[in-house]
Structure 1
Amino acid sequence: MRKSDRSFYNWLMTNRNSMAANEVQQFANNAFLDSSFPKQSSDFDELSQYLEENTTYLMSMTTFDEAWSLYNAER
């Protein structure tokens, strides 16, 4: 799979860390436990809307924005 073919979720899972040293890692850990997370999506608006309307584990959308920037940098 080319990096550009990765969904956001697939990329995010590469950031899981049991020690969760930063907010993106904590986000990844929590998304892993979220069975409704849109795992196939690479669409910013779809993901943002899902996170805003359906989750309580993301303390700030700034964390998603940071993760999205990192994701795009690797695409």
Structure 2
Amino acid sequence: MGRSFYHFLMTYRDPRKHDPMTNFANAAYKDHGFPKQAKDYHTLSEYLELNATYLSGMALFDELYEKYKEDQEKNRH
């Protein structure tokens, strides 16, 4: 079945670090409207484009989504 992108993203949360991935994870955690069960790229990207003022650009999401897909594939075997 696999975990959602949100649950994958939460592995990057850290109150002491301030790199872009951690900042994204920390902000998404505070975003009560974030689609927490979503796994689909288009659902997530549409939400982020319309609602995530905390995300400076979609390139970061794209990079993390690729890592998410790799993680899903690795855990499938």
Q: Normalization by structure 1: what TM-score? A: 0.89
Q: Is 2:64 the counterpart of 1:71?
A: no
- Structure 2 unaligned blocks of 5 or more: 73-77
Query: Which one of 19, 30, 34 corresponds to residue 33 of structure 1?
Result: 30
Q: How many residues align?
A: 72
Identity of aligned residues (%): 44
Of the two, which has the highest radius of gyration? 2
Q: 1 CA distance for matches of 2:53 and 2:4?
A: 22
Q: Is 2:19 the counterpart of 1:22?
A: yes
Consecutive aligned runs of 4 or more in structure 1 exceeding 4 Å deviation: none
Indicate the residue corresponding to 2:10 in structure 1: 13
Aligned Cα RMSD in Å? 1.1
Specify the SS of the correspondent of 2:12: coil
- Structure 1 unaligned blocks of 5 or more: none
Indicate the residue corresponding to 1:62 in structure 2: 59
Structure 1 residue 18 displacement after superposition: 1.1
> Is residue 24–residue 66 contact of structure 1 (8 Å, CA) maintained in 2?
no
Q: Normalization by structure 2: what TM-score? A: 0.87
